[in-house]
Amino acid sequence: MVGIVIFRYYFNRIMKKIIPYIPLAVIAGTLLYTGYMALTTTINLQAKHYAAIILTLANIICYAAKFKPRAGKVITLGIILLGCFNVLGFTPAIYSLFIGIGRLEISFQPYSFLLLAIFVICNLPSLSKYRQ
């Protein structure tokens, strides 16, 4: 019984440290898949893909260099928001949806909105701290 309590304690401590990195890991995994698809098929990468790769590598370096965790989270949020508004591309085939009011059209990527939802869910405790 004591072993289970100790396991749960350490498991919760480890998960609190790992969970904020999940969105960045998903982005990195998606970009690795995109690179693999570009190498093995006829898909050509666009400037959006290269920009996403560069920004994601910079973000990983920021986390690895032990800067403030908040800076890494803000950079991750910025990368995801740029992806949402179709500035960056994470997937091999970029799917965009358009919402228009009159002549104003805004394009967005559904996959990036999914990443944004994952980011908000994973970082909800730290986001609610800064709300005050």
pLDDT by residue (tens digit) across 92-113? 988 888 888 888 888 889 999 9
Is 49 part of any domain?
Answer: yes
Strand partners, 4: none
What's residue 103's pLDDT? 86
Is 14 part of any domain?
Answer: no
Is 80 part of any domain?
Answer: yes
* pTM reported for the whole predicted model: 0.82
The Cα 32–Cα 27 span in angstroms is 9
**Domain containing residue 27:** 22-129
Is 9 part of any domain?
Answer: no
Give how many domains the chain has, as a whole number. Answer: 1
